[in-house]
Amino acid sequence: MAATGNDASRTGGPAADDLDGDEALNGRTCIVTRQSLEAADLIRFVRDPDNRVVPDLARRLPGRGAHVSFSREAVETAVKRRLFARAFRSEVETPADLGAMVDRLLVRQVAGSLGLARKAGQLVTGAAKVEAAMRSGRALGLVQACDAAEDGLRKIDAARRAGERGTGRPIPGFRLLGADEISLALGGWNVIHAAILAGDAGSAVLKRLEALAKYRGESPMEAIEGAAGGDSTAEE
């Protein structure tokens, strides 16, 4: 018989702070590292009606939850070590690709936020427009396709750096999605570059991108700089 939210509440876990408690906003303990972390640094997982472990990124699904550090490595470790069954004190069906599942959900969130920002006029595409937004300092962040040509990457990244010098603030760059993924999200064709502009929708894009980068263990700034630096070295 599939476990329900009430079943999950009765089963408990190996330690009270592995699962949800009365103070939902306080720190939780990662079932992998045993570290107590804030909610923003954890991914919540619950059991669905079919007794499968599923991610609850919005932290809204009913039932008790088990928490894992916000990284794909930690999620995959939890799967390999069968830590969800231990946390729920019950045999559960844990998808072997749970780490990839979370990644896909985060990518979907990024894609949705990109589309909303475009509709709100808080995102521009096209190399010339993106470069202008970077140099003027209007951009909050830079999105580039991970399969973009390196020569185009260097040119836009130089504009990003110029914008940083002009404004005195960082302009994070992200290379997390392919051109096809970005194009689909924005309803365009062969979209390689996008500049995120100020506003609620633009800020939401940054938040989603930062979450995906964090999950993958990547630093947004280093991802852009490392790619450009590696190509420059090759030319010397």
Cβ proximity of 102 and 43 under 8 Å: yes
Segment 139-177, tens digit of pLDDT: 999 999 999 888 878 899 999 999 999 999 999 999 999
Neighbours of 86 (CB within 10 A): 16
Residues with Cβ within 8 Å of 225's Cβ and at least 6 positions away in sequence, in order, are 157, 173
Per-residue confidence (pLDDT) for residue 148, from 0 to 100: 84
Per-residue confidence (pLDDT) for residue 152, from 0 to 100: 75
50 pLDDT exceeds 90?
yes
* Mean pLDDT for the stretch of residues 72-98: 96
Segment 98-149, tens digit of pLDDT: 999 999 999 999 999 999 999 999 999 999 999 999 999 999 999 999 998 8
* Mean pLDDT for the stretch of residues 20-25: 42
CATH code: domain 103-235 is 3.30.1330.30
CATH code: domain 5-96 is 3.30.1230.10
Q: How far apart are CA 106 and CA 84, in angstroms?
A: 21
User: How remote is the C-alpha of 27 from its chain's centroid?
Assistant: 20
Domain boundaries, the chain: 5-96, 103-235
Q: What angle do CA 52, 55, 59 make, to 5 degrees?
A: 125
